[in-house]
Amino acid sequence: MSRKYFGTDGVRGHVGEHPMTVDFALRLASAAARVLAPEGGSVLIGKDTRLSGYMFESALEAGFVAAGVDVNLIGPLPTPGVAYMTQRFGCDFGVVISASHNPYEDNGIKFFDGSGGKLSDALEAEIEKHLDGPPTTVESRRLGRAARVDKSRSHYQDFCASTLPPGTNLEGLKIVIDCANGAAYKVAPRVLADLGAEIIPIGCSPNGRNINDGCGSTQPGLLQLTVPGVRAHVGIALDGDGDRLVMVDHLGRIVDGDQLLYVIAKGRHAEGSLRGAVVGTVMSNLGLEHALADLGIGFRRAAVGDRYVLAMLRECGGQLGGETSGHLLCLDRTTTGDGLVAALQVLAIMKQTGASLAELAVAMPRYPQVLLNVRTSRRLDPKSSPEIEAAVQAAEQRLAGTGRVVLRASGTEPVIRVMVEGRDEAQVRAEADGLAAVVGRVAAA
C-alpha cells in the first residue's frame, strides 16, 4: 500500500525540513489520534536524546491533548522499552521520537499499537489520509491531560532482567556497554550492573548532539579497542534508540546480527525450545542459512525491515528473526526488536555453556559480502531501470550460482543499497563496484 511519509520505520527526515517540522508533528498527532483513538484514550510518548526531541515531544503532546487523548511522557527510553511500557500502561498506542542510528540533525516519529507491535502498512496509510486537514480540537470538557511518568522506566529494567532464564545472573562477566549516547544510556548499564556484571560504560554521556557520533552499533571502533584494552569478556553496542545490537568478542572482533541470531538459535535448539523457522532478510549472510541448515533449523528470508521479519515470523509460527545490522527479534521474550534483551540472551548462553562469544560465533561461516550505499538526488526504483536490471543479470551470471546480488532503495535515506555476496572476495568486490557505478550513472541521468 502506497504511503507518502511513512517509511520502513515511521516518518523520518532532517530536522526543520518537511516532514520533520513542528507543524507536521502537530498534524501527525491529530491524524494518529483520529485513527488510533477516535473516542479518546491514552498514548505513551518516549524519545531518544536528540536536542530536537524536546520540540517534537511538545508538538505531539499538544496535538494529542487537543484531540482528546491523555498523554504520558516517559522521556528518554529505548524504542522497545516504549513498546513494552505502552502495553504495561494499557495505552491505546505509543509513540517514539527517534531517528535510530542517524546523526542528531535527523529525527523521526514512529508508532506502536496497544499490544506493543508496529502499525500495519494499512493503518499508516489511513493516518496519512488525515494529514491534509487542520488539527482537531475537541470541546474543552473532552480535552486530554498530560503527565510525566519518567520513574516508571524501572518497570522496563525489571522486564529486561526477567528475560534471562530463572536463576541466571551475570556475575563474573566484565562487560563494556556502549549506548551510542542514546536512549538506553540509563537503563542498559543499570540492568547489567543489577544482574551482577562488572561494567565499563562508554557512549553513555549524551549532550543532545553526540548521539551515534563515533560510538554505538554503527560505529563500534571505540568498543573494539576498549574491550581487549580493559580485558573485558565481551562488548555490547546499541544504536541511538536501543533496538539494534552489535557485540564484540574478547579479542575486539565484531559479531554482527547474523552471527548473534545464529548463537541464540543454536542455544534455543540445544535446549529444545526453538519453534518454527528462523527468519532473516534478503541481506542476511548466506553463511547463516548454511549454518542453520547444518543444525536442521529452517531459514526463511523476508524483505528488509524488522516489521517484515516480524510479519514472516507470525506467518510461519517462528520466534527468532533479525537483520545483519542487529535488529533481532526474540518473540519468546518480547514483542519487538530489543537490543538489550537480545544481548541478555547471548550473555545467558555464555554463562550456561562457559564458552566465550568468539567460540560461540565461530561455527557460522561468513561469506564475503560487500554492501555499498549509492546516494541519489531523486527516488529511484532499481527494478524500473532496464540498464540496472541488465547489469544485475550479468553479475549473477558471472557469479554462476555461488553468490547473490540484492539492490534495494533504503526506506530511511535517499540511497540505493547494492549488496553482492559470494565465495570469492575479490570477485564480490569487483561486482559490487561495477553495479554501484551503473546505479550512480542512472541516478544522475
Active site positions, annotated: 100
Nearest residue to 395 via CA among 443, 431, 442: 431
Residue 262: φ, ψ to 5°: -65, -45
The rounded radius of gyration (Å) of the Cα atoms in the chain is 22
Q: Verify cis geometry, omega within 30 degrees of 0, for the bond prior to 165.
A: no
Determine the Cα–Cα distance for residues 12 and 324; give it in Å rounded to an integer. 21
Nearest residue to 48 via CA among 76, 14, 86, 13: 76
Determine contact, residues 87/155, Cβ cutoff 8 Å. no
Beta pairing partners, 235: 176, 248
CA terminus-to-terminus distance, the chain: 28
DSSP letter for each residue of 143-169? ---EEE-GGGHHHHHHHHHHTSPTT--
Q: Which residues of 106-134 are buried (b: 16+ CB within 10 A; e: fewer)?
A: bbbbbbbbbebbbbeeebbbbbbebbeee
Under DSSP, the state recorded for 172 is: T
Q: Can you list the alpha helix ranges (DSSP code H) found in 247-385?
A: 257-271, 286-294, 306-316, 339-353, 357-361
Nearest residue to 308 via CA among 327, 287, 285, 286: 327
Map grid coordinates 517462528 to a residue: 318
Determine the Cα–Cα distance for residues 180 and 186; give it in Å rounded to an integer. 12
Nearest residue to 210 via CA among 49, 13, 46, 47: 49
Positive or negative CA dihedral for 68, 74, 80, 81?
Answer: negative
Q: Give the 3-state secondary structure of residue 15.
A: coil
Neighbours of 19 (CB within 10 A): 19
Q: Cell triple for residue 90?
A: 494499557
Determine contact, residues 348/334, Cβ cutoff 8 Å. no
